[in-house]
């Protein structure tokens, strides 16, 4: 089968590899779509960041080179020993979180902060391939009313949904700073959850326009309107918003959120910034709270229900679908080239497939690596 294999920074190869046989507790998924995430871009541009290179990841047993892609869905093609509750032919969304199930955080139900947390497609082989073998607990069966294109967006939508939950009680007013796929999906899900006023901040007019279509009530072009935090205060009568979501991963975006949030409000950190500085004196005096949000937990059932029963449509963030052979040129390089007109790119590994190969276990994969 074809797969996108990460060997190093700027070295992702579309290669022919063996189709993995599902081990005990695993299922083999015939991949329908796999989205390109910002994490994939970072690994391609200047990784490794999360990809294990020196020692195997404790949950997956994998080291580089490995298959990228954690935003994927597809159809169950084979079942490993001891798998129950799934059948060949089931359409599934993949929740790619590894978890050990026995550490204190897993036992508390907080598997997104498991001691051995990781993602298939970053810490183990993922879905930028025609087939992927995953632990069965990652597979969520889809009702017929949920398309595979919608299911391909459940992973980034889960990041947005978890961040909204981390904000606590649904705010009356909120700001979203950074309108990449996660920021746009935060806008969409906030509107669905009944947030009355959503102020969207970005430097891209195209992304601001898209945010308006997803439910943003106010648009702030940070490249043209000067201090976005001050502008939000003006638009809210000098009060500021109840909650602000930093989804850009930068110190400037964090400072915008702090300036935009009312006294007693909450800032939710979603973007992956490095070291930042802030005015702790002002933070204390304003009694603001900063809270982090990483990954997600228990989000897929809610998203499946919202799409199936309330007709929530996640697909407006998709700007193109490409074939696996074009991943680097029309995927990574297109997204790294700047804001442009691309937001979320889906990869269709099945495009131009000539036949379904018979699964067989690769030589370097053992039962202990399940």
CA distance 354 to 346: 20
CA distance 216 to 234: 17
Is 356's pLDDT higher than 80? no
In sequence order, what DSSP letters do the residues of 54-81 get, joined into one string?
Answer: SS--TTT---SSEE---EEEEEEEEE-T
Is 365's pLDDT higher than 70? no
CA distance 311 to 324: 29
pLDDT confidence tier of residue 273, bands split at 50, 70 and 90: confident
* pLDDT tens digits, one per residue of 164-193: 999 999 999 999 999 999 999 999 999 999
Do 257 and 175 form a contact (C-beta atoms < 8 A)?
yes
Distance (Å) of CA 342 to CA 74, 192, 331, 347, 358: 24, 24, 9, 13, 36
- Per-residue pLDDT at 366: 41
Q: What integer is the mean pLDDT of 140-161?
A: 98
pTM of the shown model: 0.94
Give residue for tokens 């309108």: 179
Q: Which of 90, 65, 67, 60 is nearest to 77 (CA)?
A: 90
Distance (Å) of CA 28 to CA 15, 129, 169, 224, 289: 19, 12, 39, 49, 43
- Per-residue pLDDT at 33: 98
* pLDDT tens digits, one per residue of 40-76: 999 999 999 999 999 999 999 999 999 999 999 999 9
Do 122 and 43 form a contact (C-beta atoms < 8 A)?
yes
Is 283's pLDDT higher than 80? yes
Give residue for tokens 């989000």: 299
CA angle, 166 then 171 then 176, to 5°: 75
pLDDT confidence tier of residue 34, bands split at 50, 70 and 90: very high
Query: Residue 2 pairs with which residues in a beta bridge?
Result: 16
Is 363's pLDDT higher than 90? no
Is 358's pLDDT higher than 50? no
- Per-residue pLDDT at 359: 44
Q: Which of 280, 218, 222, 220 is nearest to 250 (CA)?
A: 222
Q: Where are the beta strands (DSSP E) in 143-294?
A: 173-177, 197-202, 218-221, 241-246, 261-269, 289-292
Q: Which of 251, 298, 290 is nearest to 269 (CA)?
A: 290
- Per-residue pLDDT at 352: 64
Q: What integer is the mean pLDDT of 248-259?
A: 95
């Amino acid at each position: 089968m074809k797969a996108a294999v990460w060997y190093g920074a700027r070295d992702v190869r579309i290669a022919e590899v063996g189709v993995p046989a599902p081990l005990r507790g695993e299922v083999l998924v015939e991949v329908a779509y796999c989205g390109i995430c910002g994490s994939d871009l970072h690994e391609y541009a200047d990784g490794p960041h999360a990809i294990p290179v020196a020692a195997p990841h404790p949950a997956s047993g994998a080291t580089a080179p490995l298959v990228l892609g954690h935003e994927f869905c597809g159809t169950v093609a084979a079942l490993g020993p001891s798998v129950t509750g799934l059948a060949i032919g089931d359409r599934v969304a993949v929740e790619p979180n590894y978890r050990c199930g026995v550490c204190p955080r897993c036992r508390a139900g907080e598997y997104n902060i498991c001691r051995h947390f990781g993602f298939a497609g970053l810490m183990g082989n993922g879905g930028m391939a025609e087939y992927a073998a995953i632990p069965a607990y990652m597979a969520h069966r889809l009702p017929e009313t949920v398309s595979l294109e919608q299911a391909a967006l459940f992973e980034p939508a889960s990041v947005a949904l978890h961040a909204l939950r981390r904000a606590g009680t649904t705010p009356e007013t909120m700001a979203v700073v950074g309108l990449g796929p996660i920021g746009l999906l935060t806008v969409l899900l906030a509107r669905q959850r009944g947030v009355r006023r959503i102020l969207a901040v970005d430097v891209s007019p195209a992304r601001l326009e898209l945010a308006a279509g997803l439910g943003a009530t106010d648009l702030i072009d940070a490249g043209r309107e000067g201090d976005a935090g001050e502008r939000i205060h003006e638009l809210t009568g000098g009060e500021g918003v109840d909650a602000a979501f930093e989804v850009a991963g930068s110190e400037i975006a964090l400072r915008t959120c702090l300036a935009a949030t009312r006294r007693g409000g909450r800032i939710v950190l979603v973007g992956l910034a490095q070291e930042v500085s802030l005015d702790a004196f002002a933070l204390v005096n304003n009694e603001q709270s900063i809270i982090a949000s990483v990954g997600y937990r228990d989000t897929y059932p809610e998203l499946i229900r919202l799409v199936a029963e309330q007709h929530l449509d996640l697909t407006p963030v998709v700007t193109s679908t490409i074939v696996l052979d074009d991943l680097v040129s029309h995927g990574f390089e297109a997204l790294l080239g700047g804001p442009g007109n691309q937001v979320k790119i889906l990869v269709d590994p099945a495009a131009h497939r000539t036949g379904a190969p018979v699964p067989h276990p690769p030589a370097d994969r053992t039962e202990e690596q399940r």
